[in-house]
Structure 1
């Protein structure tokens, strides 16, 4: 009798872990979107921001010019050709989809492709629509370059791979992702194509779409561990 009673009231010591809620990912998306807006206002729409952005550019690259024969310039152009080549992007997409098929994570791979192309498209739209005021800041060009399409592509690739990886292991993408985005951002600055704010804004654009994808997945598939 005592044994039966003890068995009846015994509860398991370990409860199944609940899945993170969708609102956390939604907050991440909102935070990234707000970050894009704040960077744009601070560095594109104000004289002080334009001055600071220009001061952070490599000296020879200010105004969009750099010695084309320098080693730094050639290295930067090599990085940009690697990231911005449509053939390379197509190869990346093919590898991502195949990896998704092999890992039985097709939805995650498709979501990653959406984040990649969405990031590139959003960067192009924003760059075309945002107007950079001319405050006569010495040494800076008046054309708008916010956000960077090359950095958006690189960040989109990083977040696409992160979606393919299961949620519990995505933290391992943090350091490699930061390195990739930093290298591409530096390359755009050395080449004189973009400013630091352009790179930061592009990463946040891609981050916005990444968190949107995670939030949508958590709403639709509440009983699953993560994107399938």
Structure 2
């Protein structure tokens, strides 16, 4: 009796992706509790913001501020988002990965919508922290949009090549998060929370696909 030289590759399980989704969701909750609901967290969060942006006072004439606003206009413009969606769908058609493209669109708009709902529902306690504003800005809608785009592209790419999206994705999210901070719109925790919101939906999409498609022929 002979033993095959190569064992068949094991298929990634849906529960692994589900654990990723749960981990991201828990991360959102922990960041919210630590940086929004505690005096120390609020102090640290606001201390990390550029000095000119603390307390809502913006350096509107600075080059950094103007550059930040340009980045935010690029990401937050509905026309630009619509163009991205159109390109994603066309790419999905050409690559015969329509389901993956549709899932990516769902992750993008789901991330934006979830960020808006959370920002409207989460209450930021006023602990009289010096130099900070009491308005809630968690999580960032602009960063959620940027992260949603990154994860949408990741879904379109075959699983074996998604690692190549890691560095570009981190750079995109970091740049947009920094832009929101320089503009005085958001704090660091807002950006981190937004990325994890998008990450939650990304892993949910992967988990659902692995349950429905046992051969993992599409999102893989």
The interval holding the TM-score normalised by the smaller chain is over 0.9
Deviation (angstroms), 1:226: 4.3
Contact 1:155 1:203 in 2 (8 A): yes
Cα shift at 1:67:
1.6
Mind listing any 5+ residue stretches in structure 2 that lack a counterpart? none
What are the Cα deviations for residues 28-81 of structure 1, in whole angstroms up to 9, with x where unaligned?
000000000000000000000000001000000101222211000000000000
Question: 2:209–2:216: 8 Å Cα contact kept in structure 1?
Answer: no
TM-score after normalising by structure 2: 0.98
Inter-partner Cα distance in structure 2 for 1:145 and 1:27: 27
Is the Cα contact below 8 Å between 2:107 and 2:148 reproduced in 1?
Answer: yes
The structure having more radius of gyration, on CA atoms, is 1
**TM-score, normalising length: structure 1:** 0.95
Question: Could you say what secondary structure the match of 1:183 adopts?
Answer: helix
Contact 1:156 1:206 in 2 (8 A): yes
Deviates more, 1:137-146 or 1:62-71: 62-71
- CA contact under 8 A between 1:185 and 1:199: conserved in structure 2? yes
| The 10-residue stretch of structure 1 (22-31 or 62-71) with the greater mean CA deviation from structure 2 | 62-71
Matched, 1:54 2:81: no
Alpha-carbon distance in 2 for matches of 1:223, 1:124: 35
Query: CA offset at residue 140 of structure 1?
Result: 0.5
- In 1, the alpha carbon distance for the partners of 2:216 and 2:24 equals 26
Shift, 1:224, TM fit: 2.6
Q: Distance in 2 between matches of 1:36 and 1:72?
A: 29
The CA deviation at 1:142 is 0.4
Would the aligned equivalents of 1:64 and 1:191 in 2 still touch at CA under 8 Å? no
In the alignment, the residues of structure 2 paired with residue 42 and residue 93 of structure 1 have an alpha-carbon distance, to the nearest angstrom, of 34
Alignment partner of 2:55: what SS?
coil
Unaligned runs of 5+ in 1: 1-8
- Deviation for aligned residue 1:15: 2.1
* Secondary structure at 1:67 match in 2: coil
SS of the counterpart of 1:122?
helix
Counterparts of 1:148 and 1:67, CA distance in 2: 20
